[in-house]
Amino acid sequence: MQIPNLNFSELLIEQQAVLTRLTTQVNCVFVTGAGGFLGTALCRFLRAVDIKVVGFARGNYPHLKELGVTLIKGDLQDKQAVIDAMQGCDMVFHVASKAGVWGDKESYFKPNVVGTENIIAACHQHKINKFIYTSTPSVTFAGEDEDYIDESQPYAKQFLNFYGLSKAVAEQKVLEANSETLKTVALRPHLIWGPGDPHLIPRVIERAKAGKLKLVGKKDKLVDTTYIDNAVYAHLIAAVTLSEDNSACAGKAYFISNDQPILMADMLNNILAVAGLNKVSARVPSGLAYFVGTLLEWWYLKTGKQDEPIMTRFVAKQLSTSHYFNLDAAKQDFNYQALVSMEQGMKQLQNDLRNTEE
């Protein structure tokens, strides 16, 4: 993963202020999924103000050690390993999860639900009293348009994959664990992107270069996305607020985004533009995409194929429905705001892609 350097002098004033406040509230932070896109970015910002960070991940990540992160290799499903790793920490950012759109129930529930239960148990054992959980808007998604919904939207009654279901179950466990001795909050950032993104950006570019990128549906729908620094900022400011007496955000879940809904076609074409590629205009009917996804899921289950199908029912619905959110609760309860605009983020992404090519 290409990790952009953090120049602390270039951080926005609001971010500096939040980080400074955080240094007075914690001594050591535990970050799960520290080697991932969001986890790495979070570690970079914490280490920028010399907050001690213990990163927990399954792999070996030299860039984390270069940042001064104490990296512990382990599996969230190993309860004792989690308990041992969290010794001496006083705040948890639980970022890790098995993501994706394809797989059986057990493959998602073991890391996402059991892993979360183990983190909660370790918090109780070590008397850690602040827990920030990275959730997802997928916990409410049932295949229909989500137009400016807020946190009153209930969990989906039916899920199109086990990722959304497992995250919904885990989120509920985190919020139910909120108490006087363990304050918890769940954040739901949508479509995180930016420099160093190993998921959305390279996938869009790769499919465009292969001529396989297409728009789904006759009409483009609005979607919210989240620039990486804004996702980090949401976690930091929620953590600061969670540390206060009578915290307004304790025991609650919040949608997070750039608060700049954009048509799906425009988002994809903006990415292609900064990558120096032609716009995508080819379309497939949403019904056809859903049928193909259904057929591929059946075939993969029948043949036992383990890799991810190029289309699933979930992906077909995600690409043909709207997903944008009312952020009033996050703004009110912990003063969240997007510090980096879509336009600024695209410029940073363009610079990163150019540097990577060089």
Long-range contacts of 176-179 (CB under 8 A, 24+ apart): 177/120, 177/123, 177/131, 178/250, 178/251
Task: Count helices and strands (H / E) in the chain.
Answer: 14, 15
Task: Give the model confidence (pLDDT) of 155-191 as tens digits.
Answer: 999 998 999 999 999 999 999 999 999 999 999 999 9
| CA-closest candidate to residue 198, choices 29, 77, 41, 319 | 41
| In the chain, domain spans | 8-198+225-257+325-339
Low-confidence stretches of the chain (pLDDT < 50) are 1-6, 8-9
Looking at residue 16, its pLDDT comes to 79
pLDDT the model gives residue 358: 58
Helix axes of 200-209 and 264-274: crossing angle, nearest 10 degrees: 80
Q: Give the tens place of pLDDT for each residue, 264-314.
A: 999 999 999 999 999 999 998 889 888 888 898 888 888 888 788 888 888
What pLDDT shows up at residue 10? 54
pLDDT at 12: 65
Instruction: Find how far residue 52's CA is from the centre of its chain.
Output: 22
The DSSP string of 58-114 is: SS--HHHHHTT-EEEE--TT-HHHHHHHTTT--EEEE-----SS---HHHHHIIIII
Q: Is 336 noted as a catalytic residue in this protein?
A: no
Q: 10 Cβ partners below 8 Å, 6+ apart?
A: none
Structure confidence at residue 112 (pLDDT)? 97
Architecture of domain 8-198+225-257+325-339 in CATH?
3-Layer(aba) Sandwich (3.40)
Angle at which helices 37-48 and 228-242 pack, to 10 degrees?
Answer: 60
Catalytic residue among 163, 227, 233, 336: 163
Q: How far apart are CA 243 and CA 131, in angstroms?
A: 10
- Interior angle at CA 289, CA 163 and CA 154, nearest 5: 40
